Structure 1
Amino acid sequence: MRVALLAESFLPHMNGVTGSVLHVLRHLAAEGHETLVIAPRAGEITTDLHGARTELLRSVPLPSYPEVRVVFARAARLTAILREFRPDVVHLASPFVLGWQGVAAADVLRVPTVAVYQTDVVAYAEKYGMPQASALVGRHLTRLHRRATLTLAPSSASQRQLEELGVDRLRRWGRGVDTARFTPQRRSEAWRACTAPGELIVGYVGRLAPEKQVEDLAALAGLGGVQLVIVGDGPARPSLERMLPSAVFTGHLTGLALAEALASFDVFVHPGESETFGQTIQEALASGVPVVATGSGGPVDLVRSSVDGWLYRPGDLAELRARVADLVGDEGKRRAFAAAAGESVRDRSWDAVCRRLVGHYDEARALRPIDDALPRGVTTRPSVPAPPVERRTWSRFIALGDSITEGLCDTSRMPAGEYRGWADRLAQLLAPTGNGGEPLRFANLAVRSRKVHHVMHEQLPQALSMRPDLVSVLIGANDLVARRVDPVAVAVELERGVRRLREAGIAVLLVTPFLPGRRAAAIFTRRFATFASELRRIAHETGATLLDTAVFLDAEGVPAIADLSLWADDKVHLRSRGHRYLAYCAAEVLGVPDAEALGDLDAALHADDDPVADRSWLRRDALPWVWRRLRGRTAGDGRGAKHDGYVLVGGRGDVRTGANAG
């Protein structure tokens, strides 16, 4: 593979962006890939670039931070450079100015781009006294990342930030840590004796700039037996030396000197609230040093509070002092936290992280032709299509969920008061044909009004006890329309259930919840989009099959499932046509041959038995729903599962119970 890396900042200035680029270059070279680095020219480079070609462009220093260089290259110049190199993918490292021109150049050449979000530029604009520019910066970031083929976010906080800006196609990609360099074995009593003889060392490592909030460490003044040590350099150093007169400032350290200093700390502190990741936190953990960090941004994913460190409330400097004092005053706790810290980063090597990066490159290469084929003006982009699934014969299929999976409003060819539903229809499509095969055993444990925690605590244990080989999970809509909800937290709860199923060797069909195309539903769009993004991540990490309902688009790029002709009169459930459509979409991603063509034929041959729409929706559907909510009740209270034991689905496609269906 040929990879062009556009780095917004590069050597000789060393920071998180530069460091990650160097690790990526090393890994790609070791795997036999060819690389080109396009970056600002800022001085002589003596570091090994692992065989990468370089195009260093004329740059100017940022007035408030001269170590940072800005390139104002024309897109035509970048297009010519990329055309000559012929990359398979363009990697945009913390893109902003150069990255914008780079993504434009890649579009000209129809080359996929992977944008790696590493710098919270919006927060930086505010920290550098330009709050009026933050909205403008946010809009620029949104346009840039939506134009990129794929965006990689380093933490759950940065992923949520980008989702709130309207960025789609997000994937999580963290940072690796050099566990050979950063290790407790680097601890040096000689360094400690020279730096802070006879005292415990509370240290910070990082750039000395306003966005890092190093001045907050003044809250530690007067802690007995403690020496504050600041490792790093930057524009804020003169003012920090005045504000922290008793601190030791070592200046910028690299390589083994940095590793020795970090391992020699007793406690590591990181007060910055705008970190998208927090690489030095990860290096401190690898060095066996407990961490005290602010409970926002990247540190939330790295520090396990009360296990290997403490997270304090952002801005609460009294709590910062108390957390540091707690560790300084308890040697046993420091030892326990230190042991847990080293354990937490054991599987975060740069090689493992970079292997995942190459996987994201491959995903972007699959997505680019789809984007090129979209009609002009379409802004809703599909996620990567599921790879073709090898057709297999399922023997035990269980459906989990709420009223959509129970089948409400699908009355087609059903006795009065009974419903069919997409999952029952899917079971028919999965059942073996002909007379030679065993019938499919199918159970539908879905109950109307259920939420994720109901499925996890009620339906999942029952499903596991029935030993299926396929489970479908469509849940979350009732959670997402609640008054207050954290979509990521709901997804994390669901993720635990998916992992339990996968660990038991059970195939999982994970379906993203969806909304009707009505103006009233727009207030929930962001929640559903965030939840869907998390489900894509869960499917990718667990190997579940994803039915991403946003992938199936109509002619205008809108998810086809939103079409109101698929929805019942209550504006909440699918009518028979909608259940049939969803069943064939599921069959397609599960590898049923010619599922789309079969669905079209089914639609042509079977007219729905749906009642004619009327105007009584408010009285008949909405008001009873509101009344139940006010009383803390749901439509599913007292109801059991639709098929709480296996029923047989025979070769003729009928669903029936059987004496030996267990």
Structure 2
Amino acid sequence: MRVALLAESFLPHMNGVTGSVLHVLRHLAAQGHETLVIAPRSGELTGDLHGARTELLRSVPLPSYPEVRVVFARAARLAAILDRFAPDVVHLASPFVLGWQGVAAADSLRVPAVAVYQTDVAAYAEKYGVPGAAPLAARHIARLHRRATLTLAPSTASLRQLGDLGVDRLRRWGRGVDTAQFSPERRSDAWRARVAPGETVIGYVGRLAPEKQVEDLAALAGLPGTRLVIVGDGPSRPLLERALPHAVFTGHLRGAELGEALASFDVFVHPGETETFGQTIQEALASGVPVVATGVGGPVDLVRSSVDGWLYRPGDLEELRARVADLAGDAGKRRAFAEAAHASVRDRSWDAVCRRLVEHYDEARMLRPIDDALRQRAATRPSAPVRELRARPRWTRYVALGDSLTEGLCDTSRMPHGQHRGWADRLAQLLAHEGTGAEPFRYANLAVRSRRVRDLTAEQLPRAVALRPDLVSILIGANDLVGRRVNVALLARELEAAVRTVRATGADVLLVTPFLPRRRAAALFARPFAAFASEVRRIAESTGALLLDLEALPRIGDLDLWADDKVHLRSRGHRFLAYRAAEVLGVPDAEALGGLDEALHADDDPVMTGTWLRRDALPWVWRRLRGRTAGDGVAAKHSGYVVIRGRGDVRAPVAP
């Protein structure tokens, strides 16, 4: 693979962005990939670039922070550079100025762009007191990341932040840690004797800039037997040296010196409230040092309060002092926290993290042609499920609406003869399993084969509202879209009215876009399916419904998920759909559970007899000629609520 990396910041200026890019270059080189780095020119390059080509562009220093350089390059110039390299994917490292032109250049070449969100520029603008800059920066970030093929964010907080800005295609991708450089074995008694003899060392590592809020560490002044050590440099250093007169300032350290200093701390403190991740926090944990950090942003994912450190309320400097004093004054607790800290990062090597990055590259390469085809049809692009964006409500009344797919046709896994299971049944079991048990989980499935949008609004919707659910799933439209004359706008209006009716009751709605198998004959219906899926996205956005956008998950079209009748999902297809829906609804570990379910039940699909023409096609044609459907006379399998225990077994029907 050929990867072009556009970095807003690069050597010789070392920061989180530069460090991540260097680790990515090393991993890609080890795996045989070719790389090109496009970045600001700001001095002599130092460090191993692992065989990467470079295209360094003229830059100017940021007035308030001269170590940061800004490149003003036209998209056409970047496109020419990229065209010569012919990348398979463009990696945008913390994009803002150069990254905006980079995503435009990638678009012009129809190359997928993966944007890696690392810097909360809007928060930085606010910290630096630039009038009106924060909202402008936020809008720019939203536009840029919505334009990228895929956006990678390092923490649940940054996922939520970008989601609130309307950014789609979000995936969580954290940072690795060098467990050789950062290890408890690096702890040095000689370093401690030289820097803080006989004292408990409270340390900070990072840039010395306003957004890091290092001045908050003045709250630690006077803690008995302690010494504050500040590792790093930046524009705020002169002010901090005056504000923290008893602290030791080491300046910028790197490599073995940094590893030695960090491991020699007794407590690591990070007061910044704008961290999208917190790499130095992770490095402290790897060094076996307990951490005290603000309970906001990236640190929330890294620090397990009362296990390997403490999180304190943002801005509460009294609590900051109390948490540090708790650890500084208790050597036994520090040892216990230190062991847990080191254990927490054992599986976060850069190699593992970068392998995951290559998987994201592959996903972006798969999504880009889909995006281009949809743009040609003036349809909106699909967006795959976003994990960990929201805290999941405790739903206790779930009603499924739709047609044969939601009824569960062709999913006979572990079911008596003549009965079907289906993705909605499986989803109900997952939701019941995650319940608290205080209130029983009730489930109704009103879906019936061959039903259309008008049937859903006329028959299923009134019955659903009468059941007073708190969650309703809707997957409908396929039977309308395979007709000869399809009015997509009319179908969308009917569906939107149904969704608004349910939302008016206070219930949540999970909308699912229609989908097709990857068969040649299915291409006849691709255009109306794509147009209706685009309308479903619009409806979800305008009504606040949750969305399972299957156009962003091409796996749903793979023929091994489809039954022998070529129009329904087999058991493994229903499993796939159920667990993707569970991800959207925030069910913990849905992806892992889905893989386990697949492994346990990989061979439970029945073997069909007879030819497809006689078994499936001719009966369908005969019904059409007679004006009938397969759903005539068929009743919903759960027209009222049934109670599902956490293990998934169904009890007797109950009243609503």
Structure 2 length as normaliser, TM-score?
0.69
Map 1:387-536 → 2, pairs under 5 A: 402-405=397-400, 425-426=407-408, 428-431=409-412, 439=417, 442=420, 452=431, 456=435
Query: Contact 2:407 / 2:420 at 8 angstroms: preserved in 1?
Result: no
Query: Contact 1:446 / 1:641 at 8 angstroms: preserved in 2?
Result: no
Report deviation, 1:377.
8.1
Query: Contact 1:275 / 1:298 at 8 angstroms: preserved in 2?
Result: yes
Look up the match of 1:69.
69
Report deviation, 1:88.
0.2
Look up the match of 2:6.
6
Work out the CA distance in 2 between the residues paired with 1:525 and 1:127: 39
Report deviation, 1:285.
0.2
Work out the CA distance in 1 between the residues paired with 2:563 and 2:428: 30
Equivalent residues, number: 507
Map 1:290-305 → 2, pairs under 5 A: 290-305=290-305
Map 1:135-284 → 2, pairs under 5 A: 135-284=135-284
Map 1:23-102 → 2, pairs under 5 A: 23-102=23-102
Look up the match of 2:124.
124
Query: Contact 2:398 / 2:469 at 8 angstroms: preserved in 1?
Result: no
Work out the CA distance in 1 between the residues paired with 2:354 and 2:74: 30
Alpha-carbon distance change, 586 to 12 in structure 1, aligned in 2, over 3 angstroms: closer
RMSD (CA atoms): 4.2
Report Cα offsets for 1:223-252 as digits up to 9, x if no partner: 010000000000111111111111110000
Instruction: State the identity as a percent.
Output: 67
Query: Contact 2:203 / 2:230 at 8 angstroms: preserved in 1?
Result: yes
For 1:221, give the aligned amino acid: A
The question of 1:640 aligning with 2:621 is answered: no
For 1:640, give the aligned amino acid: V
Work out the CA distance in 2 between the residues paired with 1:430 and 1:448: 14
Alpha-carbon distance change, 379 to 213 in structure 1, aligned in 2, over 3 angstroms: farther
Query: Contact 1:402 / 1:448 at 8 angstroms: preserved in 2?
Result: no
Report Cα offsets for 1:14-70 as digits up to 9, x if no partner: 000000000000000000000000000000012110000000000000000000000
Report Cα offsets for 1:338-385 as digits up to 9, x if no partner: 000000000000000000000000000000000000145847321469
Query: Which secondary structure state, in structure 2, belongs to the residue aligned with residue 430 of structure 1?
Result: coil
Work out the CA distance in 2 between the residues paired with 1:479 and 1:248: 57
Query: Contact 1:308 / 1:340 at 8 angstroms: preserved in 2?
Result: yes
Query: Contact 1:443 / 1:645 at 8 angstroms: preserved in 2?
Result: no
Alpha-carbon distance change, 459 to 329 in structure 1, aligned in 2, over 3 angstroms: closer
Query: Contact 2:471 / 2:507 at 8 angstroms: preserved in 1?
Result: no
Query: Which secondary structure state, in structure 1, belongs to the residue aligned with residue 534 of structure 2?
Result: coil
For 2:339, give the aligned amino acid: A
Report deviation, 1:129.
0.3
Query: Which secondary structure state, in structure 2, belongs to the residue aligned with residue 374 of structure 1?
Result: helix
Query: Contact 2:502 / 2:509 at 8 angstroms: preserved in 1?
Result: no
For 1:404, give the aligned amino acid: V
Look up the match of 2:488.
none
Work out the CA distance in 2 between the residues paired with 1:430 and 1:233: 62
Report deviation, 1:404.
2.7
Deviates more, 1:520-529 or 1:136-145: 520-529
Query: Contact 1:92 / 1:115 at 8 angstroms: preserved in 2?
Result: yes
Query: Contact 1:367 / 1:383 at 8 angstroms: preserved in 2?
Result: no
Work out the CA distance in 1 between the residues paired with 2:427 and 2:261: 59
Deviates more, 1:551-560 or 1:261-270: 551-560
Query: Contact 1:378 / 1:556 at 8 angstroms: preserved in 2?
Result: no
Report deviation, 1:305.
0.3
The question of 1:592 aligning with 2:571 is answered: no
For 2:399, give the aligned amino acid: I
Work out the CA distance in 1 between the residues paired with 2:134 and 2:498: 32
For 1:595, give the aligned amino acid: V
Q: Is there any run of 5+ residues in structure 1 with no aligned partner, and where?
A: 386-399, 411-420, 463-476, 482-513, 533-550, 564-571, 573-584, 611-634, 648-662
Alpha-carbon distance change, 202 to 422 in structure 1, aligned in 2, over 3 angstroms: farther
Deviates more, 1:186-195 or 1:125-134: 125-134
Work out the CA distance in 2 between the residues paired with 1:60 and 1:641: 63
Query: Which secondary structure state, in structure 1, belongs to the residue aligned with residue 531 of structure 2?
Result: coil
Look up the match of 2:347.
347
Work out the CA distance in 2 between the residues paired with 1:290 and 1:478: 46
For 2:60, give the aligned amino acid: V
Report Cα offsets for 1:579-614 as digits up to 9, x if no partner: xxxxxx89988332522798997998528779xxxx
Alpha-carbon distance change, 72 to 283 in structure 1, aligned in 2, over 3 angstroms: same
Report deviation, 1:646.
8.9
Work out the CA distance in 2 between the residues paired with 1:47 and 1:137: 32
Look up the match of 2:593.
none
Alpha-carbon distance change, 64 to 318 in structure 1, aligned in 2, over 3 angstroms: same
Query: Contact 1:120 / 1:274 at 8 angstroms: preserved in 2?
Result: yes
Query: Contact 2:159 / 2:172 at 8 angstroms: preserved in 1?
Result: yes
The question of 1:106 aligning with 2:106 is answered: yes
Query: Contact 2:379 / 2:531 at 8 angstroms: preserved in 1?
Result: no
Report deviation, 1:219.
0.4
Work out the CA distance in 2 between the residues paired with 1:384 and 1:45: 39
